[in-house]
Amino acid sequence: MEWLLDPAAWVGLLTLVVLEIVLGIDNLIFIAILADKLPPSQRDRARILGLSLALFMRLGLLSVMSWLVTLTTPLFSVGPLSPSGRDLILMAGGFFLLFKGTMELHERLEGGQHGGSSGPRVYASFWVIVTQIVVLDAVFSLDSVITAVGMVDHLAIMMIAVVIAIGIMLLASKPLTRFVNAHPTVVVLCLGFLLMIGFSLLAEAFGFKVPKGYLYAAIGFSVAIEALNQVARRNLLKLDARRPMRERTASAVLRMLGKRPPAEEPDLPSADGPAMPAFGVEERNMVSGVLTLAERSIRSIMTPRTDVSWINIDDDPETIRRQITEAPHSFFPVCRGSLDEVLGIARAKDLVADLITEGRVRRNRLRDPIIVHEAIGILRLMDTLKRSRGQLVLVADEFGAIEGLVTPIDVFEAIAGEFPDEDELPDIVADGPNTWKIDGAADLHHVEQVLETEGLVDDAQEFSTLAGYLLSRFGHLPKPGDVCEYDIHHDHFRFEVVEMDGRRIALVRVEKRVPEPLDEDASLTSD
């Protein structure tokens, strides 16, 4: 024990501990990769048991290292090769690392560790993984054990350094495993290191000495690049986290459904031909309607003031009866003189009964009107509609003027598309291939869905109809025949005003021009 009084021995011990830890980092990473193949409840046990067995194995290797180092005498000759026992050990370890690294890369890139896309994950056997951990550690221990013998003369110092290093590896294995599993690119990078180390062992076994400095320089450079990549990825996640969770979720689901944001470039065609969409147009539109519903304004789904059917209580009974008969509605606002003077809400059958029995509309049978502000959100509006028990809800502006009304069917149409009443025509009617006639009052969200485009809706603007969009583009009141054009995602849209109703755009003809794909053969011929 005289080495305890030797300062050089303590320096050698400290240096050897640091070196064992550095050389054990790659070992820990691959142990984390192997442990991930086990059920979560068995991973900690496998790591601890595997590293504990590896400790005893390293101590055994140190005990017989004086014999292993002498295995440099050629055992046989095959042509120019005269391998020794040490060369055979390095050759076996190199082949094992190359095989293991290749298989792991194949599973990571092909997804073989999941056992299929729809079935449950298939886990490996516990003892198979423990055996692989021990064998892998034995391979990684060769360089570290040989280095220990070359650095220190006392066997006790070597064993103490190995015990300390294994203890630190046991403490660091779990957090390191979490880090590796959370960063798949790190796993692929480390598997590349495994292949590189296996190749260096094979080269050394065949007599081609690869300087360790080259390996460590390559590994260090790759780690530095990956560190920068992780920093960039974390910054992107932080930047993306500033967006509302609802917006991020909606964008992700819409992208999955095949709808891309306007800022994104169109996907390149696949070599195998265009991919078939997983969802139909109607399904995509319905999901899109649900995800964007909370972001829409009440003006985009309400019936505007100009289209509201209301009862003037001062009209004669015959006029009121005719109006009720011609309008296929269940509820009517009852007003005096104008829509802004609302007295209440009446059911159509109650109005008819009053006209038959009393010859007039009785005010005491009217329901109190439910009026909401135009700035109310759609989700709060839905709560109001639930409490209204099927009754319509009036929408007022900041000055108290009635702007329109909303019914439960309006919310449903915002999700599932238009359901015209008996006295209504569809807002959008096909007028030939890639051509439509659209009512100026058509909702822009519905127009985008039918035209399969994006960019018409602008939340910063107050308009929510096609007429409002065209007025913002023209900058003046258009005339029939005026044209507005719009380009997005290589598609060209032509909007032509067909009919005006006073100062309102009543009908618009829309034509979509899709660019024809380039004929490669024709292009080659022309060249």
Phi/psi at 263 (5° precision):
-75, -15
CB 370 within 8 A of CB 388: yes
Give, in degrees to the nearest 5, the angle at Cα 219 between 217 and 224: 95
Q: Which helix (H) or strand (E) holds 512?
A: strand 504-513
Identify the band that residue 150 occupies on the pLDDT scale cut at 50, 70 and 90: very low
- pLDDT reported for residue 341: 92
Output the CA torsion sign for 198, 217, 104, 163.
positive
The chain-wide mean pLDDT, for the chain, equals: 75
Cα 439 from Cα 423, distance rounded (Å): 15
Identify the band that residue 402 occupies on the pLDDT scale cut at 50, 70 and 90: very high
| SS3 of residue 15 by DSSP | helix
Edge-to-edge, what's the strand order for the sheet holding 331-336?
A: 311-312, 331-336, 338-347
Q: What structural domains and CATH numbers belong to the chain?
A: 2-210 (no CATH), 296-416 (3.10.580.10), 428-513 (3.30.465.10)
Q: Which residue has the tokens 């055994």?
A: 60
> What average pLDDT score do residues 507-516 get?
81
Q: Calculate what percentage of the chain has a pLDDT beyond 90.
A: 9
Q: Taking 50 as the threshold, does the pLDDT of residue 262 lie above it?
A: no
Q: Would you say the pTM of this structure is higher than 0.85?
A: no
**Three-class secondary structure assignment of 15-28:** HHHHHHHHHHHHHH
CB 335 within 8 A of CB 342: yes
**Residue 62 in tokens:** 């140190």
Nearest-Å Rg of the Cα atoms of the chain is: 38
- Out of 84-98, 241-255, 415-429, 435-449, least confident range: 241-255
Q: Which helix (H) or strand (E) holds 287?
A: helix 281-292
Report the DSSP pairing between strands 331-336 and 311-312: parallel
Cα distances (Å, whole numbers) of residue 472 to 68, 296, 462, 464: 85, 19, 10, 11
CB 362 within 8 A of CB 352: no
> What average pLDDT score do residues 113-135 get?
63
Cα 273 from Cα 260, distance rounded (Å): 19
> What average pLDDT score do residues 515-523 get?
51
Identify the band that residue 520 occupies on the pLDDT scale cut at 50, 70 and 90: very low
pLDDT, tens digit (0-9, with 9 covering 90-100), for 206-228: 878 777 667 767 777 887 888 88
Q: Which of 497, 488, 368, 485 is nearest to 438 (CA)?
A: 497
Q: Taking 60 as the threshold, does the pLDDT of residue 406 lie above it?
A: yes
The stretches of 206-316 forming alpha helices (DSSP H) are 212-241, 245-256, 281-292
**Residue 318 in tokens:** 């015959």
pLDDT, tens digit (0-9, with 9 covering 90-100), for 35-60: 777 787 777 787 777 777 777 877 77
CB 307 within 8 A of CB 406: no
Q: Taking 70 as the threshold, does the pLDDT of residue 203 lie above it?
A: yes
Q: Taking 90 as the threshold, does the pLDDT of residue 525 lie above it?
A: no
Cα 38 from Cα 44, distance rounded (Å): 10
Identify the band that residue 245 occupies on the pLDDT scale cut at 50, 70 and 90: low
Identify the band that residue 189 occupies on the pLDDT scale cut at 50, 70 and 90: confident
Q: Which helix (H) or strand (E) holds 104?
A: helix 85-110
Cα 159 from Cα 16, distance rounded (Å): 10
Q: Taking 70 as the threshold, does the pLDDT of residue 143 lie above it?
A: no
